[in-house]
Amino acid sequence: MRYAMVIDTKKCVGCSDCVVACQTENKVPIGYCRDWITERVEGVYPNIELELKSERCNHCENAPCVRCCPTGASHIVDGGIVLVTADECIGCGACIESCPYDARYQHPDGYVDKCTFCHHRLEKGQLPACVEVCPTKCMYFGDLDNPNSEVSQLLKRRKHKTLAPEAGTKPHVYYLT
């Protein structure tokens, strides 16, 4: 089992519903977020391309945050999900520095926090809150090890990319282009 998220940039309108849904689902304090929208514009008017997409922790297979964590608070659980054990986290910020995706933040309560792929929802057989709420249904979630899963099928069929592949982190969030 290797969980992955696949996001179709052809459909994302950058509305930020994923961001609010995550905040209400995971009680992320106002002023902080576990996921966010980026906008990339290329070209000169009127020959422009715009890419909007939702970003978050990439739940890397080769996760620098886990390797550098002095207490082991950052760890990988079944399904390849990277989690932080809050009461083991000393808030040193090494993982924040090491993450090529800027995906972690320091929670006002002192520990480092980030996307969990809504681990608690997965355990109940639900999708991550962001995936479930997205009005354009541009986000897909599933098991990469299952060749018949929607995510595997989409990655087989469509052109895609990951963020900062040069970092060698083997991310589990894919973008259809």
Partner 1 sequence: MSTSRRKFIKISALGFSGVAAASSLGSMGINTYLDDLITDNSLAPLKQIPTYCEVCFWKCAAWAHTDQQGNIQKIIGNEVDSHCYGRLCPRGTGGVGMYSDNDRLKTPLIRKIINGETTFVETSWEEALTLISTKMASLKNAHGAESLALLKHGSPGKHFEHLFKAFGSDTIAEPAYAQCRGPRETGFGLTFGSWVGSPEPTDIRDTKCLVLIGSHIGENMHNSQVQEMSDAIDNGATIIAVDPRLSTAASKSQHWLAIKPSTDIALLLAWMHVLITEELYDKDYVAKYASGFKQLREHVQDYTPEWAYGITTIKPEEIRKTARIMAAAAPATIIHPGRHVTWYGDDTQRARAMAILNGLLGSWGRRGGFYFKEKIDIPKFPHPPYPKPKWGWEEIGENYPFAEMGITNEVIRNTIPSKDNKYPIKAWFVAGTNLNKSIPNKKLLEEAIDALDFMVVVDTMPMEVTGYADVVLPECTYLERYDALRSSPNRNPSIALRMPVAKPRFDSKPAWWMAKQIGDRLGLHNHFKYDDYKEVIAWQLEQMGTSLEEMEKIGVKNYKRKSGPLYLTQGQDYEFGTDSGKIEFYSPQLAAMGFDPIPKYIPHPEPQNGYYRLNYGRSPMHTFSRTANNPNLNDLKSENDLWVNPKVARILNLKKGQYVWLENQDGIQSTFAIRVRVTERIRWDSVYMVHGFGHDNKKLTNAHGKGISDTELVTKVAIDPLMGGTGMRGNFVKILTEEPAKTALV
| Count of beta carbons in the 10 Å neighbourhood of residue 87 | 8
Residues 100-159 that bind partner 1 (CB under 8 A): 102, 105-111, 116, 119-121, 124, 132-138
Nearer to partner 1, 21 or 144 (CB): 21
| Nearest CA-CA partner of 66 in 99, 111, 109 | 99
Does position 96 interact with partner 1 (CB under 8 A)? The reply is yes
Q: Which is nearer to partner 1, 100 or 143 (CB)?
A: 100
Least distance between partner 1 and beta carbon 47 (Å): 9
What sign has the CA pseudo-torsion 167, 174, 18, 132?
A: negative
Instruction: Give the closest residue to 79 by CA, choosing from 160, 146, 147.
Output: 146
State the minimum distance, in angstroms, from the CB of residue 116 to partner 1. 7
The window from 13-21, 56-64, 144-152, 162-170 that contacts partner 1 (CB under 8 A) reads 13-21
1, 24, 62, 161: residue in contact with partner 1 (rule CB under 8 A): 24
Give the contacts of 158 (CB within 8 A, at least 6 positions apart): 8, 176, 177
DSSP annotation of 2 reads B
Contacting residues for 48 by C-beta, under 8 A, at least 6 apart: 41, 42
One residue of 16, 143, 153, 163 binding partner 1 per CB under 8 A: 16
- Out of 2, 68, 86, 163, which residue is the one contacting partner 1 (CB under 8 A)? 86
How many whole angstroms separate alpha carbon 67 and alpha carbon 164? 18
Task: Tell me which residues in 39-58 interact with partner 1 (CB under 8 A).
Answer: 39, 41, 43-46, 48-50, 52
Q: Interface with partner 1 includes 32 (CB under 8 A)?
A: yes
